[in-house]
Amino acid sequence: MTGWRVSCRAASRGLLLAAFLLLVPLGAAATEFSFKDTRGQMQRLSDYRGKWVLVNFWATWCPPCLDEIPDLIALHNARKDTDLIVLGIALEYVSPRGVIDFAAKHAITYPIILGDQKMAEQVGYVGALPTTVLFDPAGKLSGYQEGAITRAAIEEFIKSKSRDSSLK
């Protein structure tokens, strides 16, 4: 454990989309990040220009994190070849092997990164687990959520952002 001041809390599923929309300064510039995943592949924000990039901070011991994993797997599998990639950054773990085994046991198909506070700072503030950060296809910060998130909330958020950009 890293000793972070991280709490594990669940957000009300009915308020997820509203919270996701309200917590982000629109058009905030993203800082490039670069992480090596558990398979040795580099994951860079710039590599995914043209796609939405969802970065999810989680821990194996966090119940709301575990609740959202099936939705994140489904979202990633449905959209990875078209318009969205999910990256999971594990925080507060005891051993790398434990995270890798956990990901295999839960059939997590998206890239998993073994993270720490310094790595998290490349993406943004992580005050609770889970925390999800969403970058738009141009690489700009578009969404931020502390607490569990659902596939439906993410897809509705992306749909609303697409509608907004088509009105401009």
- Tokens 């797997």 — which residue? 73
What is the mean predicted confidence (pLDDT) over 29-49? 90
Domain ranges within the chain, ordered by starting residue: 7-160
The confidence band for 160, taking pLDDT boundaries of 50, 70 and 90, is very high
Instruction: Please give the class, per CATH, of domain 7-160.
Output: alpha beta
62-96 pLDDT, tens digit per residue, is: 999 999 999 999 999 999 999 999 999 999 999 99
CA distances from 80 to 77, 97, 109, 111, 142 (A): 6, 26, 10, 11, 18
Percent of the chain with pLDDT over 70: 79
Residues shown for the chain: 168
Angstrom distance (rounded) from CA 113 to CA 137: 21
User: Which pTM was predicted?
Assistant: 0.83
129-145 pLDDT, tens digit per residue, is: 999 999 999 999 999 99
Picking from 17-26, 37-46, 104-113, which range would have the lowest pLDDT averaged per residue?
A: 17-26
Q: Are 110 and 72 in contact (CB under 8 A)?
A: yes
Which pLDDT does position 165 carry in this prediction? 63
Angstrom distance (rounded) from CA 8 to CA 155: 24
Q: Name the burial class of residue 50, with classes exposed (0-12), middle (13-18) and buried (19+) by CB atoms within 10 angstroms of its CB.
A: exposed
E-strand stretches of the chain: 7-8, 34-36, 42-44, 52-58, 84-90, 112-114, 128-129, 131-135, 141-146
The confidence band for 125, taking pLDDT boundaries of 50, 70 and 90, is confident
